[in-house]
């Protein structure tokens, strides 16, 4: 085996009250990046600014990051940072806010770059020349607070770009369960299945190692044991704590082992139709586990370790408990018209096959395989390798 690496944030503060760690920072200026109004509405944005003020740090807020952060939003935020000159970037909110802040950070430090120059793995120049990065997730899902990943949408071309750069791993992650406790039930469901997907794909990845497998396995167990309760009773801080921890553990696994076809296909169907990323992952996961079994024994090993019969079936049952449909055609979050699906299927399949996450999927899937999986997950068909 060739040399590998394992990267996580230098410091992870977790548990009730973890947000107060902001008052211990050393610095002069901070740019707080967030999404819509929820962090403001629940008081967390003001709390973060107040804690920074206690540390003697002046702050500005860069808000309005959309659910699928766009290239335009990234450059808008980077410009605000260039004008303000922060030495800390504090991202608070869902994965979209954290993802956008990471790439804003890049263009704050390197304003001469074009977006096209950072989309290839390894193409991002070094960061931390002007600022360090803190990530505070409001959802237990994306694990962007742990990872070297960001997903940015080219709105004009309907393509989501997963951007991977080791330097984007935050310096500090703050995991305070009081923040995700405010999530509505459907967002808890979608983000929770995103956690499951990160762990499942990291476990089956061709880049998985003995360093990453324990994190992935523990995350899967925590999701199975705690997501139903977090969904049903959102203010259960014990379940919220375990789901927040599961998200971070899954992030540790996948940022070091990468992902697979679920994310490849979810990125592209999300770009075409606007379906929420976690929901797309939840629908796709069972189909791709069934497809991947012919190439990997990792699912069987997981089932033996957890004492369950079929992880794909366990995911189907978990989806059903939380009102997640079994197919895209049944999904009412966005309009999934069969005619539109068939119209974009060839292009979407080619784009998904070219996604970087495909590289570490078990076996050697083809564009035809990707197309067959899309069709199976849209119409509810069984799936096997394409001829």
Tell me, yes or no, whether 239 lies in a domain: yes
Q: Are residues 22 and 132 in the same domain?
A: yes
Paired residues of 31 in beta bridges = 60, 89
User: Quick check: is 32 in a domain?
Assistant: yes
109 and 244 inside one domain: no
Q: First and final CA of the chain: distance in angstroms? A: 31
Question: Residue 69 has what pLDDT?
Answer: 93
Domain end marker among 180, 211, 233:
180
DSSP conformational letter for 79: H
Tens-place pLDDT, residues 320-364 = 999 999 999 999 888 888 999 999 999 999 999 999 899 999 999
Q: What is the pLDDT of residues 6-37, one digit of tens each?
A: 888 889 999 999 999 999 999 999 999 999 77
Cα distances from 20 to residues 30, 70, 175, 281, in angstroms, run 15, 31, 11, 33
Say whether pLDDT at 87 is over 70: yes
3-state secondary structure at position 197 = helix
Residue 1: inside a domain, yes or no? no
Last residue of a domain, one of 117, 149, 180: 180
Q: Do 162 and 192 share a structural domain?
A: no
pLDDT of 386 reads 46
pLDDT in tens, 157-181: 878 788 989 899 999 999 999 999 9
- Is the CB of residue 336 less than 8 Å from the CB of residue 378? yes
148 and 38 both lie in a single domain: yes
Task: Provide the whole-model pTM.
Answer: 0.86
Helix, strand, coil tally for the chain in percent (to 5)? 55, 10, 35
Question: Which CATH number is 114's domain given?
Answer: 3.40.50.1970
Q: Are residue 175 and residue 189 in the same domain, yes or no?
A: no
Claim to verify: residue 37 and residue 93 sit in the same structural domain: yes
Together in a domain, 70 and 136: yes
Same structural domain for residues 193 and 98?
no
Do both 310 and 335 map to the same domain? yes
Note down the domain range covering 200: 185-379
Shared-domain flag, residues 163 and 197: no
Q: What is the pLDDT of residues 268-327, one digit of tens each?
A: 999 889 898 899 999 999 999 999 999 999 999 999 999 999 999 999 999 999 999 999
Closest to 163 in 3D by CA, of 145, 182, 150, 148: 150
Range of weakest confidence among 39-43, 120-124, 207-211: 120-124
Residue 3 belongs to a domain: no
Co-location of 163 and 253 in the same domain: no
Per-chain mean pLDDT for the chain: 94
Domains held by the chain: number: 2
């Amino acid at each position: 085996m060739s040399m590998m690496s394992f990267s996580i944030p230098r410091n992870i503060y977790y548990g009730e009250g973890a947000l107060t760690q902001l008052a211990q920072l050393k610095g002069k200026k901070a740019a707080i990046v967030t999404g819509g109004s929820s962090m403001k509405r629940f008081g967390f944005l003001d709390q973060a600014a107040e804690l920074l003020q206690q540390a003697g740090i002046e702050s500005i807020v860069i808000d309005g990051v959309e659910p699928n952060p766009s290239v335009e939003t990234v450059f808008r935020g980077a410009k605000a940072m260039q004008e303000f000159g922060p030495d800390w970037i504090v991202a608070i909110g869902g994965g979209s806010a954290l993802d956008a802040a990471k790439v804003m950070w890049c263009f704050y430090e390197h304003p001469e770059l074009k977006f096209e120059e950072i989309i290839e793995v390894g193409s991002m120049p070094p960061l931390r020349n002007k600022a360090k990065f803190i990530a505070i997730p409001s959802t237990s899902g994306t694990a962007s607070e742990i990872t070297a990943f960001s997903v940015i949408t080219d709105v004009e071309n309907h393509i989501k770009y997963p951007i991977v750069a080791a330097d984007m791993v935050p310096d500090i992650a703050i995991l305070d369960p009081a923040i995700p406790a405010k999530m509505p039930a459907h967002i808890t469901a979608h983000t929770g299945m995103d956690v499951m997907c990160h762990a499942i794909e990291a476990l089956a990845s061709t880049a998985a190692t003995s360093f990453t497998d324990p994190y992935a396995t523990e995350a899967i167990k925590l999701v199975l044991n705690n997501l139903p309760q977090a969904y049903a009773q959102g203010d259960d801080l014990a379940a919220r704590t375990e789901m927040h921890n599961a998200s971070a553990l899954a992030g540790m696994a996948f940022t070091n082992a990468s992902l697979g076809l679920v994310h490849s296909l979810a990125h592209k169907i999300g770009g075409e139709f606007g379906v929420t990323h976690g929901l797309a992952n939840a629908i796709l996961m069972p189909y791709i586990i069934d497809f991947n079994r012919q190439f990997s024994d990792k699912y069987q090993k997981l089932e033996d370790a957890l004492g369950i019969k079929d992880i794909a079936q366990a995911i189907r049952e978990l989806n059903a408990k939380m009102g997640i449909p079994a197919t895209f055609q049944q999904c009412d979050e966005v309009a999934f018209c069969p005619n539109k699906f068939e119209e974009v299927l060839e292009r979407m399949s080619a784009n998904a096959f070219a996604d970087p996450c495909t590289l570490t999927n078990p076996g050697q899937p083809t564009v035809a395989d990707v197309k067959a999986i899309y069709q199976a997950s849209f119409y509810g068909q069984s799936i096997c390798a394409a001829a």
